[in-house]
Structure 1
Amino acid sequence: MSLDPSVEAALDSGQIKRFDLIRFDLPGKSVGYHRGGRLYTYNGLVYYPNRWLQTGGMNSALGVAVTTRTIVFSNVPTANPDDAIATLESYEYQNAPVIIAHLAGDPVTDQVLGILASSIYEIDQVSYQKGAAGENGERTLTISIDLQPPGRSARGATLVKRSPAEQNFDNSANDTSLEYVAVNAQWPLEWGQRQG
């Protein structure tokens, strides 16, 4: 991937500001977060502030394990009804796409110059840690979300396809190779020579 010329110029000058964004495309809802202090709009999506604690390093292993990443959010629950992370369990979040983007910006004007890097993941699993009780007895949660690479990049290593839709996405829209996967184990197989 080549960088936008304005991003390259900013990098060469050494004067750059980085904006970290994360977008969740949950079933029926897209929601974004960033590490700034106020609402931020990028490409038509409003990104909520101050919740995304850790961008998470990538973890990998030998063998058939895939590269994963864990991200951490805080301050759950929240009063904002549009905050999907606060009500994540109400969505079918398993395998939902997650895009982590790092934008380059002008440090004086905060103008976005372009994209430094962007990674696409899927939600693998979610875990919750309880915080201390406040004055009114309520507790907040910290959410850790484990991500894994989507599609062929992950399952090429594990040799697993999860659905015909993913097979069509990775190969061809007309691919029907997984059409009978759920029932083929029940079909009798003939071995050896047939008696004529």
Structure 2
Amino acid sequence: MSVSLDPAVEALVDAGQFVLLELVRIDLFGKGAVPPKTVGYHRGGRPFTFNGLTYLPNRWLAPGAFTASVGPAPTKRTIAFSYAPTVNADDAIAKIRTYNYLNAPVIITNLAGDPATDQVAGILTSIIYKIYAVRFPRGAADKDGNRSLTVEIDLVPPGRSTRGSTLIKISPADQNFDNHATETSLEYVATNATITEEWGQRSG
């Protein structure tokens, strides 16, 4: 599938001179009384608004790289955030444990900007993922006893057809996405180890 770039972005790419602004958008699911929330982050020094969403600064530490291995495990990308406490009520990373974050959609977008004017020309790349796992590592203590607090988020592509065979069932919605809107062949996968289910056509 080919994707056409915005002419302004294409002109910057052809000229070989452009700056990148990386954005990450996370659509977190609600949990109990906590409603769902869409948040955005970038690695600049001040809030940045794009397509109606304000991306918060100074939280997203590293964009991460892809890792993969031989076997059924999906290719993963790990991104890191600062997990230091904050009083910002809109900073969901600071309280991500209060949300149902597993399988939440994440979109990482690279914007191309004009280095001469510092203006955004348009989108260079935009990739969608799902949250696969979240970890909360603590750094070693420094001489004053302080530790760095971070949150590492593992991302995977959103569909089995993209991830490859993982030998796991994500959801009926994933099955529908990969096959057909009315696909139900995996409806009983979660129970077939303990409950006898009939598959296929009956003989009589």
TM-score (norm 1): 0.85
Evaluate the alpha carbon distance shift between residue 149 and residue 112 of structure 1 in structure 2; reply closer, same or farther with a 3 A threshold: same
Greater Cα shift, 70-79 or 42-51: 70-79
- What's the offset of the Cα at 1:178? 2.5
Greater Cα shift, 117-126 or 167-176: 167-176
Using the aligned pairs only, state the percent identity. 60
Q: C-alpha root-mean-square deviation of aligned residues, in Å?
A: 2.6
Of 31, 38, 43, 2:46 maps to: 38
Read off the aligned partner of 1:11 and give its amino acid letter.
Answer: V
Query: 2: distance between equivalents of 1:143 and 1:99?
Result: 17
Read off the aligned partner of 1:168 and give its amino acid letter.
Answer: N
- What's the offset of the Cα at 1:153? 3.6
Tell whether the 8 Å contact from 1:148 to 1:154 is kept in structure 2 after alignment. Answer: no
Per the alignment, residue 26 of structure 2 pairs with 24
* Runs of 4 or more above 6 Å deviation: none
- What's the offset of the Cα at 1:152? 1.8
1:109 aligns with 2:117: yes
Greater Cα shift, 117-126 or 33-42: 117-126
1:187 aligns with 2:196: yes
1:72 aligns with 2:74: no
Tell whether the 8 Å contact from 2:156 to 2:163 is kept in structure 1 after alignment. Answer: no
Evaluate the alpha carbon distance shift between residue 80 and residue 19 of structure 1 in structure 2; reply closer, same or farther with a 3 A threshold: same
Greater Cα shift, 37-46 or 154-163: 154-163
- What's the offset of the Cα at 1:129? 2.5
Tell whether the 8 Å contact from 2:161 to 2:178 is kept in structure 1 after alignment. Answer: no
Tell whether the 8 Å contact from 1:67 to 1:148 is kept in structure 2 after alignment. Answer: yes
TM-score (norm 2): 0.82
Per the alignment, residue 160 of structure 2 pairs with 152
Unaligned runs of 5+ in 2: 30-35
Find the structure with the greater CA-based Rg.
1
Query: 1: distance between equivalents of 2:69 and 2:189?
Result: 29
